[in-house]
């Protein structure tokens, strides 16, 4: 019989802890930006942990990556040029590449070590990083959006929690610059923490984004290995309402790909599932 | 400055743990059926813990209780007679009583101690138990449905996890008896664990229920203090599809009450939010 793990990794967020049973520590390094761990977790495959926060486990990363990508890419009628800020593990890129219309992805990751770790330890997540449509920039996303003159259909801010290196990705200056990098029917998505424990953070972020985008919507999902049960993304757009897209149109495109969480009903469900208390605050 | 708690309660489910910081233990007793704890949790108010499983915290119990009750009660056009099996804390009763059409609730709780603890330590949860429309039976739910000749519009199985005293509430014999206690347009709801970690359990339960009810639907929600992120209920009915109800009809009834999670959009969202992998299994 396999010995039960007696080592537990605990992530502490908002006064609750989430614990995962550690079978082995496969990698540990302090990069220029953050503390990087790769652990083997009982029942969850490998986990990537940055600055003591679980970024992904092999068991459930599909939930986060499908939901940060597909609501925006299925809302846009013909997404071709996509920008990803952060997301060095490659999970978002893998999902974006499922859309046949996509011609080009710029991935702007500040920490080259994250990409190396993903390529070495998470081959099923990083699989898309070697695709010829993907251009990797090892660079600060803040600086990239300030200096590039490229325009995008979709921008995805796939960052760590809004502390440390990622803090500025939640501030108004970055979002003003990012908005100017989008086409006039562009869509921006950003990960926005747990609504139960960070309601004020989400409210403030929405207020900032509404100064730039006429359409700003929160959408939610449940992630087993993130503490707090419900997690959220913010959808912001100059033109498209995500719940206006016809289910049949989504279905026609979706049938050509394989997803494990997202489907045409989930597309509406994630926006409808918003608790009443979030609408009132 | 308030001292940080150094005592943690950890619930272990499916290989992950959820930890809550304990400020104080207010009550502990072994009843005839289970181990009962009331704890004061930092940032969450009081928590009821039965056999080491968190049943509710004051902070987030509204999510569970609104979602076990309202999708069924708003789907039924005129619910009058309601049966609750378990639910001795009174949270489900509180939500049911928000529906003006309800004339009578039978609450069948096996453990009198749970009701006493709820009345003493959780007044905002147990508030409805003293309502004149509520009849409390201290009795085994299995036996109750076998012997009563009453008929109900709605039956809610608000039980603990399917181990120990609650195990038989998930078996076919109980559900055959319960189905016979429902009117021909009756609806049954049962709490059905975390789909990420108990997919097979839910699948098996749905197979059993489909031998009794033509309409069986899973619906999901995210609960901060239950381990595993996403949790589920099963909706079973002889007649009504829960997503067929017009949003306007729900809205007209819902506007007369106060809810913090449920609203007419959430009604659809909880059924639409089902991950693709659950549909395929």
**Where does chain B have alpha helices with state H?**
61-75, 91-96, 112-121, 123-126, 141-147, 172-180, 199-210, 247-254, 264-272, 276-280
Distance between CA atoms of A96 and A82, rounded to whole angstroms?
8
Together in a domain, A148 and A241: yes
Q: What is the pLDDT of residue B166?
A: 84
Q: Reply yes or no on whether the pLDDT at A269 is more than 90.
A: yes
**Residue B4 has what pLDDT?**
65
Query: Does any domain span residue A1?
Result: no
Of the pLDDT bands very low, low, confident and very high (cuts 50, 70, 90), residue B279 is: confident
Judging contacts by C-beta atoms under 8 Å, the chain B residues touching residue A262 are: 276
Residue A119, domain member (yes or no): yes
| Run of H or E residues at A112 | helix A112-121
Residues A52-78, mean pLDDT to the nearest whole number: 96
pLDDT of residue A14 exceeding 70, the answer is no
Q: What integer pLDDT is reported at residue B5 of this predicted model?
A: 62
In a domain, B276, yes or no: yes
Give domain status of residue A103, yes or no: yes
pLDDT value at residue A48: 98
pLDDT confidence of B2, banded at 50, 70, 90? low
Which residues in chain B have Cβ-Cβ distances shorter than 8 Å to A229? 222-226, 229-230
pLDDT at A280 over 80: no
B53 and B73 belong to one structural domain: no
Question: What pLDDT does residue A2 have?
Answer: 59
For A143, the enclosing helix (H) or strand (E) is helix A141-147
Q: Residue A158 has which token pair?
A: 């796939």
Same domain assignment for residues B98 and B141: yes
CATH of the domain at A122: 3.40.50.150
Residue B1, domain member (yes or no): no
Among the ranges given (A243-247, B158-162, B172-176), the one the predictor scored with the smallest mean pLDDT: B158-162
Asked whether residue A120 falls in the same domain as residue A175, the answer is yes
> Can you tell me the mean pLDDT for B185-212?
93
Q: Is it the case that residue A195 has pLDDT exceeding 90?
A: no
The pLDDT value given to residue B13: 75
| A130-144 mean pLDDT | 97
Query: What CATH number does the domain containing B51 carry?
Result: 2.30.140.10
| Judgement on whether residues B168 and B259 belong to the same structural domain of the protein | yes
pLDDT digits (tens, 9 = 90+) for A89-123: 999 999 999 999 999 999 999 999 999 999 999 99
Q: Is pLDDT above 70 for B168?
A: yes
**From the candidates A11, A19, A44, A61, which should be mutated to test the interface with B, based on the most B CB atoms within 10 A?**
A19
Q: Which of A273, A277, A278 to mutate to test the interface with B (most CBs of B within 10 A)?
A: A273
For the stretch B43-66, pLDDT in tens is 999 999 999 999 999 999 999 999
User: pLDDT at position B121, please?
Assistant: 98
Q: How far apart are CA B214 and CA B13, in angstroms?
A: 32
pLDDT 10s digits, B61-88: 999 999 999 999 999 999 999 999 999 9
Q: How confident is the model at residue A198 (pLDDT cuts 50, 70, 90)?
A: confident
pLDDT, residue A194, reads: 87
Q: Please provide the average confidence, as pLDDT, over all residues in chain A.
A: 94
Contacts of A277 in chain B (CB under 8 A): 260-261
Q: What is the mean pLDDT of chain B?
A: 94
State how far the Cα of A35 lies from the Cα of A32, in Å rounded to an integer.
9
Same domain, B47 and B74: no
A273 touching chain B per CB within 8 A: yes
B88 and B150 share a domain?
A: yes
Residues B19 and B90 in one domain: no
Terminal Cα-to-Cα distance of chain A (whole angstroms): 51
pLDDT tens digits for range B117-138? 999 999 999 999 999 999 999 9
Do A53 and A70 lie in one domain? The reply is: no
Let me know whether B162 and B215 are in one domain: yes
Spell out where chain A has E strands. Answer: 7-13, 16-30, 35-41, 45-50, 53-57, 81-86, 104-109, 134-138, 152-158, 182-191, 215-222, 230-237
Task: Name every residue whose Cβ is closer than 8 Å to that of residue A218 and which is 6 or more positions away in sequence.
Answer: A192, A195, A202, A206, A232, A233, A234, A235, A274, A278
On whether the pTM is more than 0.90, the answer is yes
Using the Cβ of A265 and the Cβ atoms of chain B, whether some distance falls under 8 Å is answered with yes
- Residues in A closer than 8 angstroms to B42, CB to CB, are 15
Q: Does one domain contain both B184 and B86?
A: yes
Q: Is residue A139 pLDDT above 80, yes or no?
A: yes
* Confidence band, pLDDT 50/70/90 cuts, at residue B3: low
- State how far the Cα of A105 lies from the Cα of A62, in Å rounded to an integer: 19
The pLDDT, as a whole number, for residue A248 is 96
- B276, A259: Cβ pair inside 8 Å? yes
User: Do B30 and B147 lie in a common domain?
Assistant: no
| Whether B259 and A270 lie within 8 Å, measured CB to CB | no
**Total count of domains within chain B:** 2
Enclosing domain of residue A181: 61-280
Q: Which of A74, A56, A70 is nearest to A122 (CA)?
A: A56
Residue B218 contacts A where some CB pair is shorter than 8 Å: no
């Amino acid at each position: 019989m396999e010995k039960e793990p007696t080592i537990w990794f605990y992530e502490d967020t908002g006064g609750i802890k989430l614990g995962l049973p550690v079978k082995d520590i496969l990698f540990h390094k302090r990069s220029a930006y953050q503390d990087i761990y790769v652990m083997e977790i009982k029942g969850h495959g490998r986990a990537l942990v940055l600055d003591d926060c679980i970024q992904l486990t092999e068991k459930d990363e599909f939930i986060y990556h499908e939901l940060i990508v597909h609501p925006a890419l299925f809302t846009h009628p013909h997404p071709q040029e996509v920008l990803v800020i952060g997301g060095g593990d490659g999970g978002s890129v893998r999902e974006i590449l499922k859309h046949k219309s996509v011609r080009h992805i710029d991935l702007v990751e500040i920490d080259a070590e994250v990409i190396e770790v993903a390529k070495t330890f998470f081959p099923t997540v990083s699989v898309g990083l070697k695709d010829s449509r993907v251009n990797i920039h090892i660079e600060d996303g803040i600086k990239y959006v300030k200096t590039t003159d490229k325009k995008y259909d979709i921008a995805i801010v796939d960052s760590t929690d809004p502390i440390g290196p990622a803090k500025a990705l939640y501030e108004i200056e970055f979002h003003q610059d990012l908005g100017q990098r989008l086409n006039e029917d562009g869509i921006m998505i950003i990960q926005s923490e747990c609504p139960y424990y960070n309601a004020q953070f989400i409210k403030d972020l929405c207020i900032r984004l509404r100064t730039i985008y006429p359409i700003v919507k929160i959408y939610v999902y449940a992630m087993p290995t993130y503490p707090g049960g419900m997690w959220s993304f913010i959808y912001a757009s100059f033109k498209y309402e995500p719940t206006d897209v016809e289910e049949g149109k989504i279905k026609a495109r979706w049938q050509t790909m394989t997803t494990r969480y997202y489907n045409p009903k989930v597309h509406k469900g994630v926006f409808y599932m918003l608790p009443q208390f979030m609408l009132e605050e």
